[in-house]
Structure 1
């Protein structure tokens, strides 16, 4: 059970290239997703990890292809790996929906269309490279991309739209985030409803 007390870490990175940033606080939650406290972002991810609220976004183009992003090489957690369209953490007191829309704009320069809730999933995924741990109660969202991307290079190294078959091939070839398949599998019912049967998700 996570501690309900706020914890801090000095000189914590904000996840972007170089330097340090002010502390970013996350919401700690219980196994039912109820808020029980806060913790500084980096300390919440240090082993064994503290269960905290997160979100994952899956956006699709009109052809039903999924937008993937490669995380920037300067990020302290899982740099350079491929993952879903956008993921992150609400600020304490911020709704997951608002956080998902905010962070998608900050990272990719777009406002998602028809953004809808797609359930939640709880997981525990250690990152073998950094030693950090994702203990997350994750709120899932699906939506559409209907405007040109303007990725922030400090957050996103590369983007690509993929079909289910292209994702299978890329997943076998490239390195993906530890949580990617967990959140995608949990979101699949909503993805199928959004994209339709012909998309193949």
Structure 2
């Protein structure tokens, strides 16, 4: 199973003040309609506020899935493996635009193809941090035809895995609480994208 550790560094800070603006998430109802905004951390504190999110699954030409191990410095689910990219649109930003933006920011990859793959709603508490994922998640599948260049503040390492390799890794290492939920919801689109090459 090829694994690529992150060895390059990059920073993104406000040079004038050294502070970061609060990150706002878009709150939604059970149908995915916008109902307001909330600060990112407060939206994840128990019992959680339902908010819009996205999950990306990128594959190489052999039908292998690009997964990432979240950086140890992240306050939510640090050091666990997950799908290619997860995140939250800014208020008013389309999920598609947010998915493309964050995939590039985290992994240095611009998908050569990115397609909508439905939505899934879930409630997943994180047993280690006590934070709660109450999310209305927009799913995307696509192709990665360039080598990842991850931001080490976001990503600890990356790997391209086959279904068998993923199952082996999932048995041996911790994965994000939401990983299997979003993977299972995206499988029909994944199979359409990868065909016989993937075996998903």
TM-score normalized with structure 1 length:
0.90
2:38 pairs with 1:45: no
Matching residue of 1:185: 184
- For these two proteins, the number of residue pairs brought into alignment is 184
Cα distance in 2 for partners of 1:104, 1:114 equals: 12
Give the distance between the partners of 1:81 and 1:43, measured in 2 at CA. 22
* Equivalent position of 1:77 in the other structure: 76
Separation (CA, whole Å) in 2 of partners of 1:21 and 1:79: 20
Q: Structure 1: how far apart are the matches of 2:47 and 2:145?
A: 40
What RMSD in Å do the two structures reach over aligned CA positions?
A: 1.2
Q: CA deviation at 1:197?
A: 2.5
Within 5 A, what are the aligned runs for 1:99-178?
99-178=98-177
> 1 or 2 for the larger relative contact order (CA 8 Å, sep ≥6)?
2
For structure 2, the 5+ residue unaligned runs are 1-12
Distance 1:47 1:93 in 2: 25
Deviations 1:12-31 (A, max 9, x none): xx9xxxx9632000000000
User: What CA deviation, in whole Å up to 9, does each residue of 1:105-132 have, x standing for no partner?
Assistant: 0000010111000000000000000000
Counterpart contact for 2:62–2:197, Cα < 8 Å: no
Spell out, residue by residue over 1:95-154, the C-alpha distance to the aligned partner (whole angstroms, 9 max, x if none): 000000000000000101110000000000000000000000000000000112110000
